[in-house]
Amino acid sequence: MSERMPVLYLGHGAPPLADDPTWTGQLAGWAAGLPRPTAILMVSAHWEQAPLTLGATSTVPLTYDFWGFPERYYQVRYPAPGAPQLAATVRRLVGAAYPTRDEPDRGLDHGAYVPLVEMYPNADVPVLQISMPTLEPRRLFEVGRLLAPLRDEGVLIVGSGFLTHNLSCVDFGAGADAPPASFMTEFDDWAARALAAGDVDGLLDFAHQAPAPQLAHPRSEHFAPLFVSLGAAEDTVAEHRTPVDGFWYGLSKRSVQFD
């Protein structure tokens, strides 16, 4: 019997996260304290596709879904094993409510591999990435609920996004430690308090309950993986840990673990 795994929601930054010794150290330390997963199921902000789609179940090249970065970021490799058995289980768990399709040539995108390179650098844990078939919070929450039994099979479910994400407010020339805008800190504080209270309904209704949601998230795709994680967390939301917090170029790094 595999150890029941926690569920994560993390900020994945961008390819230059690899150059940040603080953040890379936080991710590595976080992973070191987790039970060893049998496989990892990634839900990334950077894959919206309906119906719910399963990525490669064999080792294929990464998806470098970013532009204008130095060449070294396109040379990163992460040859994690595929997870065909996990894919079959995902199809069984969600298929009745969310018909699935396969995209066998789609490698992990940067929302998946950037944090995994730091957390599991040996690329020796099988990884499966699935798409978000919608951005509607309650439907994503239900996807997470359907996936929750995977936790008892040793699968680490990871929602990968960014707790705040408005690139129009980012000044890369100001440095990673530049002070965040007030609406970023207010949204981060609201989310932290909602998580501490286990206020799942409030988090799902963030568009009406959070301060300045349209400024913190002009589109909700980076917040949306949290909804999958909340569903998979079942009733343990309030008993979460926060292994990573703070800001990076004005964006909230807050990342949580639901046990």
Q: What is the chain's percent helix, strand, coil content, to nearest 5?
A: 40, 20, 40
188 domain residue, yes or no: yes
For residue 42, the cross-strand partners are 129, 158
Contact yes or no for 256/203 (Cβ under 8 A): no
Give the domain extent around 238: 7-258
pLDDT at residue 1, as a whole number: 60
70 domain residue, yes or no: yes
- Identity of the amino acid at 49: Q
129 domain residue, yes or no: yes
Query: What's the Cα-to-Cα distance from 189 to each of 95, 122, 164, 210, rounded to whole Å?
Result: 37, 35, 11, 10
Count the neighbouring beta carbons within 10 Å of the beta carbon of residue 87: 22
2 domain residue, yes or no: no
DSSP letter, residue 249: T
For residue 8, the cross-strand partners are 158, 257
1 domain residue, yes or no: no
> How many domains is the chain built from?
1
Q: For Cα atoms 250, 248, 239, give the angle at the middle one, nearest 5 degrees.
A: 100
pLDDT at residue 107, as a whole number: 98
The C-alpha atoms of residue 115 and residue 20 are separated, in whole angstroms, by 12
CB within 8 Å of 18: residues ≥ 6 apart: 24, 73, 76, 114, 117, 118
Sign, CA dihedral 170-22-162-179, equals: negative
Tokens of 152: 């008892």
26 domain residue, yes or no: yes
For residue 10, the cross-strand partners are 160
Residue 51: which CATH number?
A: 3.40.830.10
pLDDT in tens, the chain (259 residues): 677 999 999 999 999 999 999 999 999 999 999 999 999 999 999 999 999 999 999 999 999 999 999 999 999 999 999 999 999 999 999 999 999 999 999 999 999 999 999 999 999 999 999 999 999 999 999 999 999 999 999 999 999 999 999 988 877 777 888 899 999 999 999 999 999 999 999 999 999 999 999 999 999 999 999 999 999 998 889 989 999 999 999 999 999 999 9
- Token look-up 């932290």 returns 192
Contact yes or no for 22/176 (Cβ under 8 A): no
88 domain residue, yes or no: yes
106 domain residue, yes or no: yes
